[in-house]
Amino acid sequence: MDGWKVEAMLDNIRSTWNVGSMFRTSDGFGIRKIYICGITPTPENSKVGKTALGAELTIPWERSNNGIELANSLKSKGYRLWALEDLPEAEPLFDMAAEPVNAPTVLIVGNEVCGVDPGIIKLCDKVISIPMLGMKHSYNVAVAFGMVASFLFYRHSVSQGSFNILPNT
């Protein structure tokens, strides 16, 4: 996809299944690289591969113990940082303008209980939330990641003039 320059940061994700699912989603949407931070299990853990079904072999990844340092480094290289987090100041996903994702952008998701590290949030250019109607305040992190990746990919495709964005499967 022309200009699609999206990468992902997984900040302290606990579940190997969630990590594997996000690798698989990343493969499906052409996410270029995954940064694995903190306690997040890497593809070296066989349980990640059980859910990723081979996507862990096709998506480049990099391990970093410190997500804040990594976020600082990416920002200094010109990346836009967009965190997915339910905060009062977050921009609802469906209210976002249909802007192309031509600048390198990192979609950041955080721990299933604690969310994205507040130090990373402070560095972000945008914080995105997904509106919910139910009693719970958040989706499963892998599901939320898939929703946002899909929406951003669709919006980017439309901004590039394409309405026929995915092959039939």
| 14-39 pLDDT, tens digit each | 999 999 999 999 999 999 999 999 99
Mean pLDDT of the chain: 89
Cα(first)–Cα(last) distance of the chain, in Å? 18
CB 160 within 8 A of CB 100: yes
The model's pTM: 0.90
Asked if 72 and 46 count as a contact pair (C-beta separation under 8 A), the reply is no
Q: Which residue has the higher pLDDT, 55 or 157?
A: 55
Q: Which alpha helices (DSSP H) does 55-140 contain, by range?
A: 67-76, 118-123
User: With bands split at pLDDT 50, 70 and 90, how would you rate the model's confidence at 96?
Assistant: confident
Two tokens at 153?
A: 């990919």
Element of type H or E holding 43: none
User: Is it the case that residue 2 has pLDDT exceeding 90?
Assistant: no
Strand partners, 110: 11
List of E strands, the chain: 6-11, 34-37, 61-64, 80-84, 91-92, 105-110, 126-129
- Asked if 64 and 36 count as a contact pair (C-beta separation under 8 A), the reply is yes
* Residue 87: Cβ-neighbour burial (10 angstroms; 0-12, 13-18, 19+): middle
Q: What pLDDT shows up at residue 154?
A: 81
124 token code pair: 């972000």
Domains and CATH numbers, the chain: 6-159 (3.40.1280.10)
Predicted confidence (pLDDT) per residue in 110-162, tens digit: 999 999 999 999 999 999 999 988 888 789 999 999 999 998 888 777 665 55
